[in-house]
Amino acid sequence: MAKMFRAFFFKSLFLFWYRFLLRQLKTLVGFGKNLGSTPSRYQKFSSLIHHHYHHHHHHRSSKFVDHTLVFDVENTLLKSSSLFPYFMIVAFEAGGLIRAIILVMLYPLACLADIAGKELRLKMMVMICFFGIKVDSFRVGRSVLPKFLLEDVGKEIFDVLKRRRGKKVGVTNMPRIMVESFLREYLEIDVVVGRELKVLGGYFVGLMEENKSALHALEQVQEGKGCSDMIGITRFNKVVDHHQLFSHCKEVYGVSEAEKRSWQVLSKEKYPKPLIFHDGRLALRPTLLETIAMLMWLPYAIILAVIRISLALSLPYNFSTPLLIFSGLRLTTSGIPNMHPNKNNGGTLYVCNHRTLLDPLYLSFTLKRNLIAVTYSLSRMSEILAPIKTVSLTRNRDQDARMMQELLLQGDLVVCPEGTTCREPYLLRFSPLFSEMSDHIVPVAVNSHVTMFHGTTAGGLKCLDPVFFLMNPSPIYTVDLLQHVSRSECVGGTETNDKEHRTRFEVANQVQNQIGSTLGFKCTKLTRKDKYLILAGNEGVVMNRG
């Protein structure tokens, strides 16, 4: 009986591997036949760069660079070979913590399943991440993923794409909704070929349509061109993934894994479109190990955040500040507050850029005295938890001006004229309202750094912003008090309405430039409205206008 069982076992094992290898062999043979229909040759990716430079320096590259370029997104454009971080971002940001935990637990099983069947790992990740997600509310592909995808682009392949004057076609096995915004808006790719997701009743069902978009893309890229005008770039052992497109290429260049690892990361200065706004809570790149570490830290992070909030609310500055620093918060300050003039008839107006909701609180810790903070939007929970007085602006200019004048008579006032937070090293346009409030304005340059969670959001729950910031192991804040700005010096002693009107903007621009120069940030004319239209699809107004 035992001999019969052993014979049956080995026979089954042999048949399994025979069928598996035979299926792979048939796929390769079929792809070889498709390639045989057009004259194709394979070269190393480095030869493509050498070919281009050789012709470029001899002014004979026009025909070469005008060809349509078809490239494999995950196997050539991105340095990393793992798609797990991008699906984890979708799971965590669009689905929540429970979905992220499920993805981590089932990912090893998905890797094992991928050995036995084609694309099973990809299909499992799509099912876990997208099942039950509402189509209309899914904005991760536009507001969150572009940052992480841009940080994974190889400089060498980007240089090849940038020199192309012909059409550029990005081909991916991932759902198109995950990569289309990144490719079209930030890398200026003409056509994106990706998998479509099935939808039922306005919700994703977690299944992908059959990959029929390749033929449609082929029709698009061949408008006015012949098949021989297409050049493909893919990985050596991944050419079969999109054979419908690559089989029509005149030349196909292969990229090895070793070459990808040697590439440099594309620097932010070379982005075709600067990345100014992005959303999402995750500040780290959620690889498998980083995600496991984050999930293990999470229970302690919640406890730590509660302790930090309790210390800030219950103790005076002299006691709470050392304890908060002992808990891991880092606060560095510069400038001498006592040198800044205080008016005899009221408080001092502090004007700072906006990084998180905690900006006024950290300034209060720096000055070691209570301040009054005016904000454009603040959740009820944040108002309750704030250890300093907070007042919401109504967005009615005359009403807000009167309110700020009254508050200045009560004490020192801090305002963030950007109106919303910005994570990247940019300053949004400063509203000039503050320049009319006081003759002595103290600019304050504020910066923050986190390693795990962002303490700001455009599309999530704003009431949790301070909690997420304080959940970081060692969040860093820098507060730099700058030389005061006098409005009367800008007016030059004249009191005409026209001069006063111009000076409002001059003072606002001067303060913005002074803060930007100190921090090394670029000044922009973008506003709160621009940010929310990009990230959340609305104007970011959460209160009624007066």
How far apart CA 239 and CA 301 sit, in angstroms, is 45
- Give CA angle at 244 (238, 247), nearest 5°: 75
CB of 450 within 8 A of CB of 483? no
Query: Whole-angstrom Cα distance, residue 438 to residue 460?
Result: 35
pLDDT at residue 394 is higher than 60: yes
Cβ-based neighbours of 42, under 8 Å, separated by 6 or more = 236, 252, 253, 254
DSSP result, 502-546: HHHHHHHHHHHHHHHHHHTPEE----HHHHHHHHTSS----S---
Asked if residue 355 has pLDDT above 50, the reply is yes
Residue 88 CA from chain centroid, whole number: 14
Inter-residue contact 508 to 523 (CB < 8 Å): no
CA 148 – CA 284 distance, rounded (Å): 9
The pLDDT score that the predictor gives to residue 341 is 52
Residue 41 backbone class (left: φ over 0; alpha: ψ -120 to 50; beta: rest)? beta
Q: Which of 127-136, 375-384, 406-415, 528-537 has the highest mean pLDDT?
A: 127-136
Q: What is the DSSP letter of 57?
A: H
> Residue 478 is encoded by which pair of tokens?
């820098």
The pLDDT-based confidence of 63 (bands split at 50, 70, 90) is very low
Q: Find all residues with CB under 8 Å of 105, minimum gap 6, and list them.
A: none
Burial 139-166 (b: 16+ CB within 10 A, else e): bbbbbbbbbbbbebbbebbbebbeebeb
| Structure-token match 């025909």, residue found | 63
Residue-wise pLDDT tens digits, 450-461: 999 999 998 888
Which has more confidence, 394 or 499? Answer: 394
Mind listing the pLDDT tens digit for each residue in 132-149?
999 999 999 999 999 999
Which residue shows structure tokens 């997701």? 197
Give me the pLDDT at residue 30, please: 45
Q: 340 or 489: which carries more pLDDT confidence?
A: 489
Order of all β-strands in the sheet with 42-44: 42-44, 251-255, 230-235, 68-72, 168-175, 191-195
The pLDDT value given to residue 345: 61
The identity of residue 375, as a single letter, is: T
Radius of gyration in angstroms for the set of CA atoms belonging to the chain, rounded to a whole number:
29
pLDDT of the residue at 273: 92
Q: What is the pLDDT of residue 2?
A: 56
Q: How far apart are CA 142 and CA 159, in angstroms?
A: 24
Section 501-515 average pLDDT? 85
- Cα(91)–Cα(128) distance, integer angstroms: 8
| Distance of alpha carbon 254 from alpha carbon 35, whole angstroms | 14
Q: What is the pLDDT of residues 165-204, one digit of tens each?
A: 778 889 888 999 999 999 999 999 988 888 899 999 999 9
Average pLDDT, the chain: 81
What is the per-residue pLDDT for 222?
Answer: 59
- 264 has a pLDDT exceeding 80: yes
Averaged pLDDT for residues 283-301 = 96
Residue 286 DSSP label: -
Tell me how far apart the alpha carbons of residues 488 and 439 are, in angstroms, rounded to a whole number: 6
- Cα 333 from Cα 363, distance rounded (Å): 9
Global pTM reads: 0.84
pLDDT per residue over 302-334, tens digit each?
Answer: 999 999 999 988 888 888 888 999 999 998 888
pLDDT at position 490, please?
Answer: 57
> Which residues does 169 contact at the CB level (< 8 Å), separation at least 6?
68, 69, 70, 71, 189, 190, 191, 192, 193, 217, 221, 245
Q: Tell me the sheet residues that pair with 441.
A: 349, 485
Counting residues of the chain whose pLDDT is more than 90, the rounded percentage is 42
What is residue 53's three-state secondary structure?
A: helix
Assess contact for 415 and 350: CB atoms under 8 A. Answer: yes
The more confidently predicted of residues 544 and 90 is 90
Q: Phi/psi of residue 353, each to 5°?
A: -70, 165
Residue type, 155: K
Model pLDDT, residue 61:
44
Q: Residues of the chain with pLDDT > 70: what percent?
A: 75
What is the mean pLDDT of the segment spanning 416-434?
Answer: 92
The three-class DSSP label of residue 438 is: coil
Residue 390 forms beta bridges with which residues?
Answer: 373
Q: How confident is the model at residue 287 (pLDDT cuts 50, 70, 90)?
A: very high
- Reported as a single tens digit per residue, the pLDDT across 7-47 is 655 555 555 555 545 554 454 444 444 434 433 444 444 44
Mean pLDDT of 53-63: 45
pLDDT at 258 over 50: yes
What's the pLDDT score for residue 234?
Answer: 83
